[in-house]
Chain A
Amino acid sequence: MTATSSRIYKDIDLHFTAHPVTGDLVKKLGEDAIIQSVYNLLSFGKYEKLFQPTIYSSLKAHLFEPVDNITSSAIGNEIRNVISNYEPRVALTEVNVTPEYDMNGYTVSITFFIVNATDPITVEFFLERVR
């Protein structure tokens, strides 16, 4: 007999929005919780995570470099490293970082499987500096 464990991941929403009916804090469940976690990991700067200086991705630093293939490849590596090291719930399959010279940023698409789930999840966002 094979047993499959499927946990339901439950996290708080870092936007702290209240539930429109109950007024409670809104929960992030399952897939949403994991995606929020991946976003968080990507946004930590060095020493931003208290007493755990090794958990960070230097995306912010890279955004101040010239937009080109080398930087985009470095950004891709950062993303792979931080997710594979600190997010045990996902199996990363693909990270695409495309430089957008005209818009001074990068289109990032990350594809991963949630462990013990069958469907791949793709997250896409546009990375640019805001100052």
Chain B
Amino acid sequence: MANQLRVTELDFDTIKANLKTFMKSQTEFSDYNFEGSGLSVLLDVLAYNTHYMAYYMNMVANETFIDSAVLRQSVVSHAKLLGYTPRSRVASQATINLSFQEVIGGSNSAMTLPKFAKFTSAPKDGKSYTFVNTEQRVATKNANSYFVFDSVQIKEGNPVSYVFTYDAQTNSKQVFVLPDDGIDTSTLTVQVQKSATNQAISTYEKAEDSTAVTSTAAVYYLEENRLGKYQIYFGDGVIGAALDNNNLVIVSYVVTSGDAANGIRTFKLSDNIMPGATVALELVTESNAGNLAETAEQVKFTAPKSFIAQNRAVTKNDYVALINRNYPYFDSVAVWGGEENVPAIYGKIFFSLKPRGNYEITQSEIQYMKDYVLKPISVLTVTPEYVAADYNYLNFVVDVVYDPRKTTKTAGGIQTSVYNAVVQFASDYLNTFNNTFKMSKLVRAIDDADASIENNSIKVLIEKRFRPTLGISKSYRLDFYVPLKKGTSVDRLYSEPSFGYIDEFNIERVAFIEEVPQSFTGLDAVEVLATGDGYTEIPSITVEGDGEGAAASAIIVNGKLKSVVVTNPGANYSAAVLRVVGGSGTGAQLRAVLQGKKGTLRIYYFDSNNIKKIINANIGSIYYDDGYLILDNFKPTTVSDPFGTMIFKAQPNTNVFSTTRNAILTLDSTDPAAIDVRVGAVTS
């Protein structure tokens, strides 16, 4: 019916229009249509009231569901039902080495670095920050009379401590509100003292899993209250121990500025811990991983996902999420099941971590991750295992041609732009597990670095670093995870820097390793077609073909030729015939396999006349298609690198390559050889 009042409208204007429509059906008052009339004022009030109520009801309904809630307190409350406490602010964290040299004649044998020793940072954006260490450390005096504290983790923020007295009358719910904003809850410690007179103290842990909490468990619960402050509360004597009247609750934590203090490299100890001592401080990792508290939007995103995982690590993503949540200091986390390993290992889950701004993590962090983060929540029979990340450092040699008429930049300026474009590309696309390098993306990034760039060509080298054990003969396998290009006489796989190697005359040489040119045209393997019979001695095997240098030796078992080992693959074969000579037996037939799947590595040095001399013609093999190399019985005496690190550089055979499991593509921007930009100008 036309004069029926519609009730579905929410907007003021339509509500008022409805009221006017309704007014049309009566004759008592006719002036509803004029804005100045008294009726219009009355309709305004009615429409406003209706609109207000509709809006209010809409908001109430919105706040009832986590998807549509807007107010932080509603979102946090919904998250609470899903068993999720929003992540607090996270303090920026740096690692330093500290050493103290006592005054001459000092007699201390050990010293203590107390918890919350204060460090001052160099100013960042005009503000310097306070950092503190979060655990007490003890060091004994070493042989050089130094007290050394290695890998001390310091967190940005000011330590704060409060003592609350529990009064069962006024605070029956045992709730204590932490009064500060910007708390890093991972630094929160809670202790309970019996009373002001009885000083027995026990430390309480944060309750994570209520099924494991007994009636006497010393646990506290943490939550965010309606005002956005964190508050702790205690058990009721059934799930978790309850407080006794007049207990003192001692809380301490760090109040931090979050991400503002990331990226600081210079620190100074500001507490006078050992008077008169000379303090030396060395940076290990710059401050990183500082983060602001989760916003309402982030909570809406994470809380349901955390609920789906049920605080249990079952799927791959559960592990990734749990590691990131408990330890947000990683650029990337890789998790894979043992069944994906080659060969498969069942009953284990493997994880690999790339720390932010660094390449390796400490043993204690790994242990913590395994014992406290993963094991308690992973499925029975599944053991988490850490695998160190295997870095493929990418090197880029970029040739750029630019048109000087199209830019005011000098060649040096173009070089800087291109360099920065490559660094940006690396931070956008590399440094995470399970990622893919795509050459075309890099080509485009470099082209876009400046409008005057006409062309660019890029040579990619993959660099593997490893530390050989000195003086001990060992075999090594280095995985590049990428099909490798077969070398030419001028452009092939090589090692850096030089190392010491004993040659056949027992003289130590300054040696290098390289790919033998054309070695992939050598003999890959020998197939035994017929074993023959009656071999009483080991026969010799001759290789006839268009190449040279190949040699093989036979293995005889019970008078039969069981197999053949290629001792030297030689080079330049397109066909080869093998003959078994001597050994008193007959009937053995062999076939040469020339697949070009592997090349040979050799060790060489330059003599005093600068002539290349070979020490060992076959120290290992390169498997081009599978992308790895093997060094056999490699026994260097020294490596001319302060850390004893050797580097192999090889070219990939493809423009798109990806990594799986613990392999990671990265760019070491601190390595001056990592990016080589050569700039040329257009001549015509």
The CA of A11 and the CA of B134, in the complex, are separated in Å by 77
For A13, A38, A40, A55, the residue with the greatest tally of chain B CB atoms inside 10 Å of its CB is A40
Please measure, in the bound complex, the distance between the C-alpha atom of A96 and the C-alpha atom of B647, giving whole angstroms.
Answer: 97
A50 and B42: CB pair below 8 A? no
Chain A min CB distance to B579 (Å): 103
Q: Which residues of B contact A89 (CB under 8 A)?
A: 34
Q: Are A11 and B29 in touch, CB under 8 angstroms? A: yes
> What is the chain A residue whose CB lies nearest that of B29?
A10
How many A-B residue contacts, CB cutoff 8 Å?
61
Assess the A14–B30 pair: CB atoms within 8 A.
no
B12 and A41 contacting across the interface, CB-CB below 8 Å: no
CB within 8 Å of B: which of A18-72?
Answer: 27-28, 33, 36-38, 40-41, 49-52, 55
Other-chain contact of A36, B28, B35, B38, B44 (Cβ < 8 Å): B38
Cα of A51 to Cα of B213 in the assembled complex, Å: 57
Cα-based distance from A119 to B356 in the complex (angstroms): 88
CA–CA, A89 and B37, complex, Å: 11
CB distance from A47 to the nearest CB of B (A): 12
A14 to B43 Cα, complex, angstroms:
13
Residue among A11, A37, A38, A51 facing the most chain B CB atoms (10 A cut-off): A11
CB distance from A36 to the nearest CB of B (A): 6
Is the CB–CB distance between A7 and B36 below 8 Å?
A: no
Decide if B31 is an interface residue (CB 8 Å cutoff).
Answer: yes
Q: Does A9 sit within 8 A of B, measured CB to CB?
A: yes
CA distance A55 to B34 in the complex (A): 12
A50 touching B47, Cβ below 8 Å:
yes
Cβ 8 A contact of B36, one of A8, A13, A28, A37 = A37
A25→B448 CA distance, assembly (Å)? 78
Q: A37–B44 contact, CB under 8 A?
A: no
Given contacts A50-B12, A87-B36, contact A12 B48 (CB under 8 A): no
Are B35 and A10 within 8 A (Cβ)?
no
User: How far apart are B232's CB and chain A's nearest CB, in angstroms?
Assistant: 47
Q: Is the CB of B35 within 8 A of A11?
A: no
Does B30 lie within 8 Å of A37, measured CB to CB?
Answer: no
Closest B residue by C-beta to A40: B36
- How far, in angstroms, from A80 to B232 measured CA to CA in the complex? 66
Output the nearest chain B residue to A43 by Cβ-Cβ distance.
Answer: B36
- Alpha-carbon distance A38/B37, docked complex (angstroms): 8
Instruction: Confirm or deny: B39 has a beta carbon within 8 angstroms of a beta carbon on chain A.
Output: yes
Q: Do residues A11 and B13 form an inter-chain contact, with CB atoms below 8 A?
A: no
Nearest neighbor of A51 in chain B, beta-carbon distance: B12
Contact of B681 with A by CB under 8 A: no
Known interface pairs A37-B31, A89-B34. Does A11 touch B48 (Cβ–Cβ under 8 Å)? no
Residues of A contacting B31 with CB < 8 Å?
9-11, 33, 37
How many Å from the CB of A84 to the closest CB on chain B? Answer: 12
Cα distance A88–B31 when bound, in Å?
Answer: 12
Q: Does B41 contact A (CB under 8 A)?
A: yes
Q: Given the interface contacts A9-B30, A10-B29, does A49 sit within 8 Å of B35 by beta carbon?
A: yes
Any chain B CB within 8 A of the CB of A126? no
Known contacts A8-B30, A14-B41; is A51 also within 8 Å of B36 by CB? no
Residues of B within 8 A of A9 (CB): 30-31
Interface residues on B, range: 10 to 19
Q: Say yes or no: B47 contacts A11, CB within 8 Å.
A: no
Enumerate chain B residues within 8 angstroms of A55, measured Cβ to Cβ: 35
Interchain CB contact under 8 A, B44 and A11: no
Chain B residues within an 8 Å CB radius of A36? 36-38
Rounded to whole angstroms, the CA-CA distance of A33 and B28 in the bound complex is: 13
A12:B38 contact, CB within 8 angstroms:
yes
**B12 contacts which chain A residues (CB < 8 A)?**
50-51
Pick the contact of B39 from A8, A12, A51, A52 — CB < 8 Å? A12
- Decide if A40 touches B48 in the complex (CB within 8 Å): no
By a CB distance below 8 angstroms, the chain A residues around B29 are 10-12, 27
Residues on B with beta carbons closer than 8 Å to the beta carbon of A40: 36-38, 41
Residues of A within 8 A of B45 (CB): 50
Contact A13 B38 (CB under 8 A): yes
A49-B44, A51-B12 known; A11-B38 Cβ under 8 A: yes
Residues from chain A with Cβ under 8 Å of B41 in the complex: 14, 40
Interface residues as binary, B589-603 with A (CB distance below 8 Å gives 1, 0 otherwise): 000000000000000
CA distance A9 to B31 in the complex (A): 6
Q: Tell which of B13, B28, B37 touches A37, judged by Cβ atoms closer than 8 Å.
A: B37
Residue of B nearest to A87 (CB): B36
Interface residues of A in 99-121 (CB under 8 A from B): none
A51 touches B13 (CB 8 A): yes
Name the contact of A28 in the complex, choosing from B28, B38, B47 (C-beta under 8 A). Answer: B38
Please give, as numbers and ranges, the residues of chain A lying within 8 Å of B37 by CB-CB distance: 11, 33, 36-37, 40
Given A11-B29, A50-B12, A51-B12: A38 touches B36 (CB 8 Å cut-off): yes
Q: A87 to B34, Cβ gap below 8 A?
A: yes
Residues in B24-82 with C-beta less than 8 Å from chain A: 28-31, 34-39, 41-42, 44-45, 47-48
Q: How far is the CA of A40 from the CA of B42 in the complex (A)?
A: 12
Rounded to whole angstroms, the CA-CA distance of A12 and B34 in the bound complex is 13
CA distance A95 to B214 in the complex (A): 87
Q: Note all chain A residues with C-beta closer than 8 A to B38.
A: 11-14, 28, 36-37, 40
B30, B34, B36, B47: residue with the most chain A Cβ atoms closer than 10 Å: B36
Q: Which A residues lie within 8 Å of B48 (CB)? A: 50-51
A28 surroundings in chain B (CB, below 8 A): 38
Q: Which A residues are in CB contact (< 8 Å) with B35?
A: 41, 49, 52, 55, 86-87
Nearest CB on A from B22, distance (A): 15
A31 to B493, CA, bound (A): 104
What residues of chain B lie closer than 8 Å to A13, measured between beta carbons?
38
User: When A10-B28, A10-B29, A51-B13 are in contact, do A37 and B42 touch as well, CB less than 8 Å?
Assistant: no
A7: which B residues are within 8 A, CB to CB? 30
Q: How far is the CA of A49 from the CA of B47 in the complex (A)?
A: 12
Contact pick for A86, options B36, B42, B44, CB 8 Å: B36
B117 to chain A, nearest CB (A): 59
Residue of B nearest to A89 (CB): B34
Q: In the complex the two chains form, is B30's CB within 8 Å of A50's CB?
A: no
A114 to chain B, nearest CB (A): 12
In the assembled complex, 9 residue pairs joining A and B whose CB atoms fall closer than 8 Å, in A order, are A7-B30, A11-B37, A11-B38, A37-B34, A40-B36, A49-B35, A55-B35, A86-B36, A87-B36
Which residues on B are within 8 Å of A, measured CB to CB? 12-13, 28-31, 34-39, 41-42, 44-45, 47-48
- Apart from A40-B37, A89-B34, what are 17 other A-B pairs with CB-CB below 8 Å? A7-B30, A9-B30, A9-B31, A10-B28, A10-B31, A12-B38, A14-B38, A27-B28, A27-B29, A28-B38, A36-B36, A37-B38, A40-B38, A50-B45, A51-B12, A86-B36, A87-B36
Kindly list the 4 A-B residue pairs having the minimum CB-CB distance in the complex, ordered from nearest.
A37-B36, A41-B36, A11-B31, A14-B38
